[in-house]
Amino acid sequence: MRTHRPGELRSGDDGTRVTVCGWVAHRRDHGGVVFLDLRDATGLLQVVVDPGVAGLEDVRRVRSEWVLRVSGVVRPRPAGTVNDSMPTGEIELGADSLEVLSESEPPPFPLDERADIDEVLRLRHRYLDLRREPMQRNLRVRAAVNAAVRAAMDAQGFCEIETPMLIASTPEGARDFVVPSRLHPGSFYALPQSPQLFKQLLMVGGFDRYYQIARCLRDEDLRADRQFEFMQLDLEMSFADQADVLAATSVAVLAAAEAVRPGDAPDAVAQITWREAMDRFGSDKPDLRFGMELIDLGEVFAATEFRAFQGAACVKGLCVSGHGESSRNVVDGLVERAKQLGAAGLVWMRVRDVDGVATLESPVVKFLSEPERLGIIDTLGAKVGDLVLLASGSWATTVSVLGQLRLDLGRPPVSEGGLHFVWVVDFPLFEGLGEGGRPSPAHHPFTMPHPDDFDLLDSDPLAVRSQAYDLVLNGWELGSGSVRIHRREVQQRIFALLGIDEDDQQRKFGFLLDAFRFGPPPHAGFAFGIDRLVAILAGEDNIREVIAFPKTQSGTDPLTNAPTPIDPTQLRELGLAMRATPKS
RNA sequence: GGUCCUGUGGUGCAGUUUGGAGUGCACGCCGCCCUGUCAAGGCGGAGGCCGCGGGUUCAAAUCCCGUCAGGACCGCCA
């Protein structure tokens, strides 16, 4: 059907007779000569229909997005008509035959890359949106990431194994999508939130290095970085510790980054403890593309007379470079934001030049001693023209409030600042107290405690660190993993702490615990989100831009109209009855 | 469940603050002209439930209430 692809022809093809196929991107009809820009996935090629060439009269009818098959000879463009802005700009195709393969109505929106089109319209006609260069680019980035990840895992001796989509519902975690069973009316399958339990069974089954690019489904509200269904590189390793998992996973993500952003990818993934990430960046997913770290001012205010900071567990500051002349309106907005985030208040100070000396100016500065004022400037490294923000209170609130303000004020756009991968390690085992005063697991109940912290399990459970870890890229959580508990007595101890009794254990995880009676190897694993990784690598701040057919924020698909009501006979067959008339 | 933002010819916007005729810009579409353009150009034309419903008013795209759709976020996402 074709001998070449339009976007691949170059000046070296001069004189070659070719046949190309594609869509009409632009038509420039000069009355005599007619120019067509023919587009396919490889790019654009200018087709010239000279006047008087027999059999090409059809070109007058041709419109945007018609599909053509054009034959002719590649020729250099005449002097002065070369187009430097396109890769095929030195040549053109002098058509001598033209076949209309398919006609098109005018598209409902322009397919130029420039146009910023309403997203519902794009999704309703996604097949047209996919023709546009950004979507072509993003989905090809995605394919390259998948290929690089697979190659990296295969090269490291991992075995790709699929796990089922129709599984038993497990009561923990996110809300399940469920599928009614026809053969067992009243019973339901769940769609997997992740292959978590199955991959641990694979370890018991002797596949010591498993991976899968797995589809995961969670029925929770959607966000810019969350869809109902998403893809994860899921992996698990036997006879391996945390360092082994981090190393194997690093190879895969760095290979993916190198494949699509050659030269931008670092040689290694940085590492930081959870505690340090919270202390310095106020987040368990620190964005390391910029500094603006949180600085401890506990010593400066150790003996302060300033009431707001007296007796505070934590006083920290943030120096916002160059924001010193922010209007009162803007600054008040920051105070309001801090309060919404849970802070009791926010102290702000402008750094101004007074007789050549950097001096703090603020409504509260009169309550501070001279050493305190100098200490703030000195410790924060504040300069004339900066804005200083101080918060105090509990450690957790103080760091998280300042951490959010840091992002609000300093975070670069998604496509800038390079690629800063970081492992966040030593997460706490439990995240606060849940119902009944029991600690609740920060990761999941099979997470191995940190080897140095077993003694704290009974005395101070909330201080126990775990062998759980997150992978973070530019402030996005890509994924998490852990070393799993494989010893029965440790698992029983954790279940006891969590308040999960024997019945609960059997009901929720019975088959896994059963399997663990038969020689479970020590194992550890990880999973990271392909959609998020691809989005960042493609410079998109929304994963819908890297998914061929995504859903809207309310979980609908404007193209297929999913979800739809189903036929009453279908309901009957499944043993289901509608309780109330659904809306619309 | 909640907060905030958006909705105006096919597309992207302006108009809404301060109510006064569907007013404007760019693109697209249709017709005519045009032999070197490249987002071609020139002339002409068609195309509107101002998301939907209600209210206030002599008068509503504009003000108020409700509702629908979309987006960002909080909750949620072990």
> A406 and A441 in one domain?
no
pLDDT confidence of residue A506 = 87
Q: Are residues A316 and A391 in the same domain?
A: yes
Is there contact between A169 and strand B, defined as CB under 7 Å from any strand atom? no
**Using the CB atom, is residue A340 less than 7 Å from strand B?**
no
Buried b (16+ CB within 10 A) or exposed e, A525-556: bbbbbbbbbbbbbbbbeebbbbbeebbeeeee
Report the distance separating Cα A504 and Cα A510, nearest Å: 9
Q: Give, to the nearest 10 degrees, the angle between helix A133-155 and helix A530-538.
A: 130
What are the start-end ranges of the E strands in A407-457?
421-425, 430-433, 439-441
Q: Is the CB of A394 less than 7 A from some atom of nucleic acid strand B?
A: no
**Last residue of some domain: A354, A379, A410?**
A410
**Enclosing domain of residue A500:** 421-520
Whether A278 is in a domain gets the answer: no
| Among A496, A520, A544, residue at a domain's last position | A520
- Residue A113's pLDDT is 80
- Does residue A581 belong to any structural domain of this protein? no
The whole-number pLDDT of residue A74 equals 97
- In 3D space, the residue among A388, A378, A328 whose CA is nearest the CA of residue A357 turns out to be A378
CB of A441 nearer than 7 A to strand B: yes
A3: which residues sit within 8 A by CB, 6+ positions away? A17, A18, A19, A20
- Amino acid, single-letter form, for residue A492: Q
Establish whether the CB of A60 is closer than 7 Å to any nucleic acid atom in strand B. no
Q: How many CA atoms does the CB half-sphere of A74 hold within 13 Å?
A: 23
Distance of C1' in B11 from CA in A276, Å: 50
* CATH assignment of the domain containing A235: 3.30.930.10
Q: Do the domain assignments include residue A232?
A: yes
- A509 and A535 fall within a common domain: no
Instruction: Give chain A's domain count.
Output: 4
Rounded Cα gap, residues A549 and A560, in angstroms: 10
- Whether A555 maps to a domain, the answer reads yes
Question: How do beta strands A91-102 and A159-160 pair?
Answer: unpaired
Per-residue pLDDT of chain A (584 residues; tens, 9 = 90+): 999 999 999 999 999 999 999 999 999 999 999 999 999 999 999 999 999 888 898 899 999 999 999 999 999 999 999 999 999 999 999 999 999 999 999 999 999 887 789 999 999 999 999 999 999 999 999 999 999 999 999 999 999 999 999 999 877 789 999 999 999 999 999 999 999 999 999 999 999 999 999 999 999 999 999 999 999 999 999 999 999 999 999 999 999 999 999 999 999 999 999 999 999 999 999 999 999 999 999 999 998 989 889 888 899 999 999 888 888 878 888 888 888 888 888 999 999 999 999 999 999 999 999 999 999 999 999 999 999 999 999 999 999 999 999 999 999 999 999 999 999 999 999 987 776 778 888 888 999 999 999 999 999 999 999 999 999 999 999 999 999 999 999 999 999 998 888 888 888 888 999 999 999 999 999 999 999 999 999 999 999 999 999 999 999 999 999 999 999 999 999 999 987 654 43
Which of chain A's residues 226-245 bind strand B, using a 7 Å CB cutoff? 226
Query: Looking at the domain assignment, is residue A216 inside a domain?
Result: yes
Structure token digits, residue A319: 């120096």
Instruction: Kindly report the CATH number assigned to the domain that includes residue A313.
Output: 3.30.1360.30
Q: Among A491, A516, A515, A517, which Cα is nearest to A504's?
A: A491
Task: Establish whether this prediction's ipTM goes over 0.85.
Answer: yes
- Residue A46, nucleotide of least CA–C1' distance: B38
Residue A26 lies in a domain: yes
Same domain, A137 and A265: yes
Q: What's the confidence (pLDDT) of residue A388? A: 95
Residue A118 lies in a domain: no
A231: exposed, middle or buried (Cβ count in 10 Å: 0-12, 13-18, 19+): buried
- Continuous segment of H or E residues that includes residue A196: helix A196-204
Last residue of a domain, one of A410, A439, A460: A410
A308 & A259 share domain: no
Task: For residue A78, give the CATH number of its domain.
Answer: 2.40.50.140
Any domain includes A538:
yes
